[in-house]
Amino acid sequence: MSDKTITPREITFRVRRFDPDVDSAPHWSEYRQHVHDGMTVLEALHQLKAEQEPTLSWRSSCRMGVCGSCGMFVNELPMLACQTQVLHLGTDVVTIAPLPNYDNVKDLVPDLAPLIEKHASVKPYIIYLDQIEIDEPTGEFIQTPDQREEFSQFTHCIKCGLCLAACPTVATDPLFLGPQALAQAYRYTADNRDCGMKDRIEAIDIFHGPYQCHLAGACSQACPKGVDPAFGIQLLKRALVLDNIGFGKKKSSVAKVMPLADVVKAIDEFAPPPRTVVK
């Protein structure tokens, strides 16, 4: 990072504005504002709203890259406003627009409903064959660290929707399930506790499913949590092909239930060390 990029200075913010009650199409407004080192795009927007433009709208919540609310198109890339520092962008003009490929509700607010609907459509939960075990558990599922590693990367998704904003297929195909939902379909399919491939196939093995991903890689570049959805989709394709030719996950490879008595024994074996500070 050169000195210039972190020198506090005046920055021009070009913000795309749209008010459905007034505007028929979006327009750009410019604001100049002093930015200090470490200031995030989200903080800059708060300052803009407080000092210059009280009607400016966006969506945000946790301001720490966890809730996935503040996705925006900053300097022509989808980013989380809360974890993007203005001076690190390295430009004197910062453009901020709502995420592409979503309906624009107002100013910087995208309508993320399709993202959530697509996510829900791939059955993003563990489907276990033995319903009695689910209703009245007799123990805990066994899962080794290696088995968890198979999918744990994909559990980090915060559903911010940046990946869909980057995806070229989503740009034209509103029915394409998109990187987020497909990576989540893989996350559950790869889980050794899951037996849901058969149930999920109906939702994912369709034209608008994984095969409309052509590995442009933009979703993985955009992902702010290192989930790498493009990777999940390619692994999902492989899993589907193997399943189609009869080499899918076998029933015998599905997680076994460890009886509660053994669980208690295991807990004793891996008990935490005794307290060093007495209350």
Partner 1 sequence: MRETRLWSWHLLVIPIIIVLLGAHFAVMHYAPVFYGVSVEKAREFETMIERGKSITQFVLYILLLAAALYHGLYGLRGIIRELPMSPALGKIVDMSIIGLGLFIFAFGTYVTWWTFSFKIGG
Partner 2 sequence: MNSNKPAYNNRLGLKGWVYAGKYTFERYLYLGHRLTGMGLIAYMLLHIIETANRMRGVEAWEELMGLFASWPFKIIEYLLFAAAVFHALNGVRLLMTELGFFLGKPKEPVYPYSSSIKRHRPLTYIIMALAGLIIILGGSSLFFP
Residue closer to partner 2, measured from CB, 103 or 202: 103
Residue closer to partner 2, measured from CB, 193 or 257: 193
27-35 vs 9-17, strand pairing mode: antiparallel
Cβ at position 220, least distance to partner 2 in Å = 4
38 makes contact with partner 1 (CB under 8 A)? no
58 makes contact with partner 2 (CB under 8 A)? no
d(Cα 101, Cα 98) in Å, to the nearest integer?
9
Q: Which residues of 201-212 are buried (b: 16+ CB within 10 A; e: fewer)?
A: bebbeeeebbeb
What is each CA distance from 138 to 58, 94, 133, 241, 269, in whole angstroms?
A: 47, 57, 7, 34, 20
Which of 44, 87, 159, 228 lies at the binding interface for partner 2 (CB under 8 A)? Answer: 228
Q: What track of x and - describes contact with partner 2 for positions 59 through 98 (by CB under 8 A)?
A: --------------x-xxxx-------------------x
Residues 223-242 close enough to bind partner 1 by CB under 8 A? 237, 240-241
Rg of the Cα atoms in the chain: 23
Q: How many Å separate Cα 108 from the centre of its chain?
A: 18
169 makes contact with partner 1 (CB under 8 A)? yes
172 makes contact with partner 1 (CB under 8 A)? yes
The dihedral built from the CA positions of residue 195, 199, 204 and 206, taken in this order, carries a sign that is positive
d(Cα 44, Cα 107) in Å, to the nearest integer?
15
d(Cα 42, Cα 30) in Å, to the nearest integer?
16
Cβ at position 126, least distance to partner 2 in Å = 17
Q: Considering CB distances under 5 to 8 angstroms, the limit depending on partner class, which of partner 2, partner 1, none binds residue 205?
A: partner 1
Q: Considering CB distances under 5 to 8 angstroms, the limit depending on partner class, which of partner 2, partner 1, none binds residue 143?
A: none
Cβ at position 18, least distance to partner 2 in Å = 5
DSSP label of 197: H
Residues that bind partner 1 (CB under 8 A): 169, 172-174, 176, 201, 205-207, 209, 211-212, 237, 240-241, 243-245
